[in-house]
Structure 1
Amino acid sequence: MPSLVLVHGFWHGSWCWSQVLAHVVATGHRAVAVDLAGHGLYARRPRWFTARRYDAAAVDTEVSPLAGVSLDDAAALLTSQLGLVGGGEPVTVVAHSAAGPVLTRVAQRRPDLVAHAVYVSAYMPASEVPAAAYTRVPEAADGRVAPLLRGDPARTGALRLDLATDDADYRKRLREAFYGDVNPALAEAATGLLTPDGPMGVMLGTTTLTRDGWGSVPRTYLVCTGDVALGPALQTRFVAEADAAFPDNPTCTVKLDASHSPFLSVPEELADVLASLG
């Protein structure tokens, strides 16, 4: 069975997969969670986040220390991680949310390293379309993350959450966007582990998809039907575009009754689905 490599989305870290990993390993699979570029051990926090005095103006204007991180950078890191985990053999890669375009780039350039591409409520952009473009399509109109973002990404170089604010309403809306069906205590703990900046360069990069590249890799899309961050309508659009472009390699679709964070709300169910893909 190919090893499983789990990749988190923006603002999170490999920590978010801990409960899923336990269940997956119990099924006999080899699995590991890795950090996306600009996150986890690669995170770099802006000055305002740790300042002794809260500065709302700095939240909106300070250039992110991750402003230079591109889709190329993120893909290069993931490629190296896959090579290390698989030892040159293909692995099953599971991408959540904004890790989707990174997986797509890696699978296009190194399809030999990806036995199966799995997207969990993730961006799965079409050929030569940046993931950021999908934030402006009709299917994204009701997404609850965009209203939480602070500053102008063109200026800061990041998609930024204000994780230093003591605004109770803001923090409530953030938990609802990501963790609507998660145990409140667990949701609060997860919120405390988030980092404020996601590198905008990952969302702006594009990948030209080909039949012998990404189009040749088996793929599965896990639609989270209760997601209010990246809604089911947008998730369904990704699948439709992929299948229209590569009809000979259709996407297998699995529905989960979960919010944007099934790794916290239904970890055992998610693990069972991932284990079955091996």
Structure 2
Amino acid sequence: MALKWSTTTAALGLILLLAFHVQEGEGSQHHFVLIHGLGHGAWCWYKIVTLLKQKGHTVAALDLTSNGINRAASTDQVKSIAHYAEPLLQYIGNLGNDEKVTLVGHSLGGCPLSYAMEMYPTKISKAIFISAFTPRNNQSFLSSANPKTFPRLVENGVVVPNMEADSELPISASLALDHVKSYLYNKSPVEDANLAESLLTSTPFPISVEFLKLSEESYGSIRRFYIVLMKDRLFPPEYQEYSIAQNPPEKVFKMHASDHSPFFSQPDQLCNLLIHIATL
């Protein structure tokens, strides 16, 4: 009798294990594409890439043109969002016919993210904006933000416009290294802040003033979500709320202890939140 009970129990356990595997395994895996913000590159996502892969998800962190280790063009050669977002557009364009991705854009990354949504609406299941700018149709990155956003950062010496003698507009913008720890990484481990200081680069300026053409049929067909970072000093919560009010997403989430860089300051929480949103 004991043997029969033990065999039955073992069989039941195996059935439950298989059911759990089906529920939590291949059927629940997602494909994430991570897009960096101003001055950053794929390197800033290293913790998130590791955590997502450990959980069995497919993930790609991309360097946009002239940032990170992408040297397809120098910063001053990038004159359009299409050129800047080319690595993202190529990645999505090379997906299989039935494959869809969850796009994640941080800060300035909301701009190329929106552009890709318009170009490839059938390849994107969801778009997640993290303390990001969310331009509407006929808006640029700059015009979509709270009007105080960039004057404040420039006046405080956090963002530095890089000018050429014969140019009316900057050719690029850089983050001042002596301010990044207090504005971008104020809740992040010091080793991550030090890493960032050695890897930050300038970002093409023309992409911030180009007006986007976003249609309801393409861009508007994709489910959008927003993550507010409550300890963000670069793009404070009230400025994030301004962007949300201008272009409301389906749902808003808050990370109460994160600075502007949740991939450094709260990687586990960010990873779990990305997965949660992907399953909605």
- Calculate the TM-score normalised by the size of structure 1: 0.79
Is the deviation greater in 185-194 or in 96-105?
185-194
Task: Give the match's secondary structure for 2:57.
Answer: coil
Match of 2:226 in 1: 221
Output the aligned Cα RMSD. 2.4
Match of 2:57 in 1: 29
Query: How far off is 1:185 after superposition?
Result: 2.6
Distance 2:138 2:63 in 1: 25
Query: How far off is 1:130 after superposition?
Result: 0.9
Letter in 2 for 1:159: A
Question: Is 1:80 the equivalent of 2:85?
Answer: no
Indicate conservation of the 8 Å contact 2:144/2:243, yes or no.
no
Match of 2:136 in 1: 126
Distance 2:155 2:44 in 1: 18
Structure 1, unaligned runs of 5 or more: 46-63, 164-170, 244-249
Is the deviation greater in 251-260 or in 264-273?
251-260
The one of 126, 150, 172 equivalent to 1:158 is: 172
Distance 1:145 1:263 in 2: 27
Query: How far off is 1:128 after superposition?
Result: 0.9
Match of 1:199 in 2: 204
Distance 1:255 1:138 in 2: 22
Question: Is 1:107 the equivalent of 2:121?
Answer: no
Pick 1 or 2: higher relative contact order, CA cutoff 8 A, min separation 6.
Answer: 1
Is the deviation greater in 3-12 or in 200-209?
200-209
Letter in 1 for 2:55: T
Distance 1:146 1:104 in 2: 29
Match of 1:274 in 2: 274
Aligned residues: 244
Match of 1:148 in 2: 158
Summarize deviations over 1:65-107 as a string: whole Å, max 9, x none: 43433112123331111233x3342210101111111010110
Indicate conservation of the 8 Å contact 2:33/2:104, yes or no.
yes
Equivalent residues in 2 for 1:247-262 (5 A)?
Answer: 250-257=249-256, 258-262=258-262
C-alpha change, 1:149 and 1:142, in structure 2 (3 Å) is closer
Summarize deviations over 1:169-204 as a string: whole Å, max 9, x none: xx1x22111101011232112211111x11012211
Indicate conservation of the 8 Å contact 1:107/1:214, yes or no.
yes
Query: How far off is 1:114 after superposition?
Result: 1.1
Structure 2, unaligned runs of 5 or more: 1-28
Question: Is 1:174 the equivalent of 2:180?
Answer: yes
Summarize deviations over 1:149-180 as a string: whole Å, max 9, x none: 334554541012355xxxxxxx1x22111101
Distance 1:261 1:252 in 2: 21
Would you identify which runs of 4 or more consecutive aligned residues in structure 1 move more than 6 Å?
Answer: none
Distance 1:146 1:71 in 2: 27
- Calculate the TM-score normalised by the size of structure 2: 0.79
Letter in 1 for 2:271: A
